[in-house]
Amino acid sequence: MTVCDVLVVGAGPGGGNAALQCSRKGLSTIIIEDHPEIGTPVHCGECISEIACQNLELTLPEEVISKRVQGIRVIFPDGTEKRLTEEGYVLEKHLFERWITDEAVSAGATLNLGHKLLSMERAEGEPFSGWVCDGKGGSIPHNGQDSNRCLGGCSGLLPFSQA
Protein backbone atom coordinates (compact mmCIF):
# COMPACT_ATOMS: atom_id res chain seq x y z
CA MET A 1 0.00 0.00 0.00
CA THR A 2 1.31 3.43 -0.96
CA VAL A 3 0.36 6.51 1.01
CA CYS A 4 1.00 10.09 -0.07
CA ASP A 5 -0.04 13.62 0.82
CA VAL A 6 -1.05 14.43 -2.76
CA LEU A 7 -2.00 12.18 -5.66
CA VAL A 8 -1.98 14.05 -8.99
CA VAL A 9 -3.95 12.37 -11.76
CA GLY A 10 -2.51 13.40 -15.13
CA ALA A 11 0.92 14.76 -16.06
CA GLY A 12 -0.23 17.53 -18.39
CA PRO A 13 0.50 21.22 -17.78
CA GLY A 14 -1.89 21.46 -14.81
CA GLY A 15 -0.84 18.18 -13.25
CA GLY A 16 2.86 18.82 -13.70
CA ASN A 17 2.56 22.25 -12.13
CA ALA A 18 0.36 21.01 -9.27
CA ALA A 19 2.93 18.30 -8.52
CA LEU A 20 5.78 20.81 -8.72
CA GLN A 21 4.14 23.29 -6.35
CA CYS A 22 3.17 20.55 -3.85
CA SER A 23 6.64 19.00 -3.94
CA ARG A 24 8.23 22.42 -3.38
CA LYS A 25 6.09 22.70 -0.23
CA GLY A 26 7.46 19.39 1.06
CA LEU A 27 4.32 17.33 0.47
CA SER A 28 4.83 13.72 -0.57
CA THR A 29 3.45 13.78 -4.10
CA ILE A 30 2.72 11.01 -6.58
CA ILE A 31 1.82 11.69 -10.22
CA ILE A 32 0.01 9.02 -12.21
CA GLU A 33 -0.19 9.29 -16.00
CA ASP A 34 -2.18 6.93 -18.19
CA HIS A 35 0.13 7.23 -21.19
CA PRO A 36 3.52 5.50 -21.37
CA GLU A 37 5.18 8.81 -22.27
CA ILE A 38 4.57 12.38 -21.13
CA GLY A 39 3.50 14.85 -23.80
CA THR A 40 1.85 12.39 -26.17
CA PRO A 41 -0.55 12.53 -27.73
CA VAL A 42 -0.56 16.32 -28.15
CA HIS A 43 -4.17 17.49 -27.78
CA CYS A 44 -3.86 21.26 -28.23
CA GLY A 45 -1.56 24.25 -28.08
CA GLU A 46 -0.57 26.00 -24.92
CA CYS A 47 0.25 29.55 -23.85
CA ILE A 48 1.47 30.97 -20.57
CA SER A 49 1.92 34.59 -19.52
CA GLU A 50 5.12 36.01 -18.09
CA ILE A 51 3.13 37.02 -14.99
CA ALA A 52 2.05 33.40 -14.48
CA CYS A 53 5.67 32.26 -14.82
CA GLN A 54 6.72 34.79 -12.19
CA ASN A 55 3.88 33.86 -9.82
CA LEU A 56 4.65 30.14 -10.17
CA GLU A 57 8.42 30.71 -9.95
CA LEU A 58 8.97 29.04 -13.34
CA THR A 59 12.03 29.79 -15.45
CA LEU A 60 11.20 28.29 -18.83
CA PRO A 61 14.05 26.70 -20.77
CA GLU A 62 14.36 27.93 -24.37
CA GLU A 63 13.50 24.53 -25.86
CA VAL A 64 9.92 24.66 -24.50
CA ILE A 65 9.23 28.12 -25.98
CA SER A 66 7.83 28.16 -29.51
CA LYS A 67 7.28 31.92 -29.72
CA ARG A 68 7.32 35.00 -27.51
CA VAL A 69 4.11 37.05 -27.75
CA GLN A 70 2.91 40.48 -26.63
CA GLY A 71 -0.62 39.26 -25.99
CA ILE A 72 -3.32 36.99 -27.33
CA ARG A 73 -6.80 37.30 -28.79
CA VAL A 74 -9.36 34.86 -27.39
CA ILE A 75 -12.48 34.12 -29.43
CA PHE A 76 -15.29 32.49 -27.45
CA PRO A 77 -17.83 30.06 -28.97
CA ASP A 78 -20.45 32.82 -29.16
CA GLY A 79 -18.06 34.96 -31.24
CA THR A 80 -17.16 37.35 -28.42
CA GLU A 81 -13.51 38.43 -28.58
CA LYS A 82 -11.21 39.38 -25.72
CA ARG A 83 -7.71 40.74 -26.14
CA LEU A 84 -5.16 40.06 -23.41
CA THR A 85 -2.07 42.26 -23.62
CA GLU A 86 0.27 40.47 -21.23
CA GLU A 87 3.64 39.33 -22.51
CA GLY A 88 3.97 35.60 -22.63
CA TYR A 89 4.90 32.49 -24.55
CA VAL A 90 3.43 30.03 -26.99
CA LEU A 91 4.83 26.70 -25.84
CA GLU A 92 5.94 23.46 -27.42
CA LYS A 93 3.36 21.73 -25.26
CA HIS A 94 4.84 18.23 -25.31
CA LEU A 95 8.26 19.58 -24.31
CA PHE A 96 6.73 21.83 -21.64
CA GLU A 97 4.80 18.90 -20.13
CA ARG A 98 7.97 16.81 -19.96
CA TRP A 99 9.99 19.68 -18.51
CA ILE A 100 7.51 20.68 -15.78
CA THR A 101 7.01 17.04 -14.75
CA ASP A 102 10.80 16.56 -14.62
CA GLU A 103 10.97 19.66 -12.41
CA ALA A 104 8.34 18.13 -10.11
CA VAL A 105 10.29 14.87 -9.91
CA SER A 106 13.49 16.83 -9.17
CA ALA A 107 11.60 18.57 -6.35
CA GLY A 108 10.63 15.19 -4.86
CA ALA A 109 7.51 13.95 -6.66
CA THR A 110 7.24 10.34 -7.80
CA LEU A 111 6.08 9.67 -11.37
CA ASN A 112 4.21 6.53 -12.43
CA LEU A 113 3.65 6.20 -16.19
CA GLY A 114 1.11 3.78 -17.67
CA HIS A 115 -1.19 4.14 -14.65
CA LYS A 116 -4.88 4.92 -14.88
CA LEU A 117 -7.22 5.90 -12.08
CA LEU A 118 -10.32 3.73 -12.35
CA SER A 119 -12.12 4.58 -9.14
CA MET A 120 -11.80 6.52 -5.93
CA GLU A 121 -13.84 6.80 -2.80
CA ARG A 122 -13.48 8.73 0.40
CA ALA A 123 -12.54 6.48 3.29
CA GLU A 124 -14.05 8.81 5.91
CA GLY A 125 -13.59 12.26 7.37
CA GLU A 126 -12.91 15.49 5.55
CA PRO A 127 -14.30 16.13 2.04
CA PHE A 128 -10.85 16.52 0.46
CA SER A 129 -8.86 13.89 2.34
CA GLY A 130 -8.87 10.19 3.08
CA TRP A 131 -9.25 8.91 -0.48
CA VAL A 132 -8.89 5.25 -1.39
CA CYS A 133 -7.88 4.95 -5.05
CA ASP A 134 -7.89 2.00 -7.41
CA GLY A 135 -6.64 1.67 -10.94
CA LYS A 136 -4.44 -0.14 -13.39
CA GLY A 137 -0.66 -0.08 -13.34
CA GLY A 138 2.15 -1.56 -11.31
CA SER A 139 2.27 0.63 -8.22
CA ILE A 140 -0.81 2.83 -8.32
CA PRO A 141 -1.44 4.19 -4.83
CA HIS A 142 -3.88 2.04 -2.84
CA ASN A 143 -4.60 3.61 0.49
CA GLY A 144 -6.24 2.50 3.70
CA GLN A 145 -6.36 4.14 7.13
CA ASP A 146 -3.68 6.74 6.36
CA SER A 147 -4.88 7.49 2.86
CA ASN A 148 -4.22 10.44 0.56
CA ARG A 149 -4.66 13.84 2.18
CA CYS A 150 -5.42 15.48 -1.15
CA LEU A 151 -6.34 14.25 -4.60
CA GLY A 152 -5.68 16.49 -7.61
CA GLY A 153 -7.56 15.61 -10.79
CA CYS A 154 -5.61 17.03 -13.72
CA SER A 155 -6.87 14.73 -16.45
CA GLY A 156 -7.45 17.51 -18.98
CA LEU A 157 -9.75 16.79 -21.89
CA LEU A 158 -10.43 13.13 -21.08
CA PRO A 159 -11.70 12.78 -17.50
CA PHE A 160 -11.29 9.39 -15.85
CA SER A 161 -15.03 8.75 -16.07
CA GLN A 162 -14.53 8.15 -19.81
CA ALA A 163 -11.68 5.68 -19.23
Residue pLDDT, tens place only, 31-83: 989 899 998 887 777 889 999 999 999 999 999 999 999 998 989 999 999 99
Report the CATH superfamily, name and number, of domain 6-162: FAD/NAD(P)-binding domain (3.50.50.60)
Q: Is the pLDDT of residue 159 over 80?
A: no
pLDDT interval class at 125 (50, 70, 90): low
Distance CA 89, CA 18 (A): 20
Q: Is the pLDDT of residue 137 over 60?
A: yes
Q: Where exactly are the structural domains of the chain?
A: 6-162
What is the average pLDDT across 122-136?
66
pLDDT interval class at 155 (50, 70, 90): very low
Which residues does residue 8 pair with via DSSP β-bridges, in sequence order? Answer: 31, 152
Q: Is the pLDDT of residue 86 over 80?
A: yes
Which residues does residue 69 pair with via DSSP β-bridges, in sequence order? Answer: 88
Q: In the chain, what are the helix, strand and coil shares in percent, each to the nearest 5?
A: 25, 30, 45
Q: Which residues contact 104 (CB under 8 A, 6 or more apart)?
A: 16, 17, 19, 20, 23, 29, 31, 111
State the chain's mean pLDDT as an integer: 81
What is the average pLDDT across 3-11?
85
For 92-111, what is each residue's pLDDT tens digit? Answer: 999 999 999 999 999 999 99
